[in-house]
Structure 1
Amino acid sequence: MAKAEVKTKQKTEIEDSSSLKGTLASVFFLGLFIVVTWLSVYYLFVERF
């Protein structure tokens, strides 16, 4: 037999106290690091031949 679910009306308050500015800066720095790494490896590959 299926159990009957008791539905309660509860308000869940979401606190939006987190700032995403640090996240954006971290993503930009990570992206820059990846691009610089790829360009330096490509430069080493081209200079070898």
Structure 2
Amino acid sequence: MGSLQQKNERSSEKDQSPNLKGTFISVMLLGVFIIVSWVGVYIFYMMR
């Protein structure tokens, strides 16, 4: 009976976890923006 209870707790924890796909995409886009900005500033500095 303890095994069944543990199984139910695990499945309910799985259902309650939020979907973080949108958060991951937002963070990756922010990272790309920061990298592109730094590369742009570096190229601008080197052209002067």
Q: Tell me the alpha carbon deviations over residues 3-30 of structure 1, each in whole angstroms, 9 at most, x when there is no partner.
A: xxxxx7621211142341xx11110110
**TM-score, normalised with respect to structure 2:** 0.67
Q: Distance between the aligned counterparts of 1:40 and 1:9, measured in 2? A: 55
Report the structure, 1 or 2, having the larger helix content: 2
Identity of aligned residues (%): 8
Q: Give the aligned length.
A: 40
Larger Rg: 1
Q: Structure 1 stretches (4+) deviating beyond 2 angstroms?
A: 16-19
> Which residue of the other structure, out of 15, 18, 28, is the alignment partner of 1:17?
15
Aligned partner of 1:38 in structure 2 is 35
Stretches of structure 2 lacking an aligned partner (at least 5 in a row): none
Q: CA RMSD in A?
A: 1.8
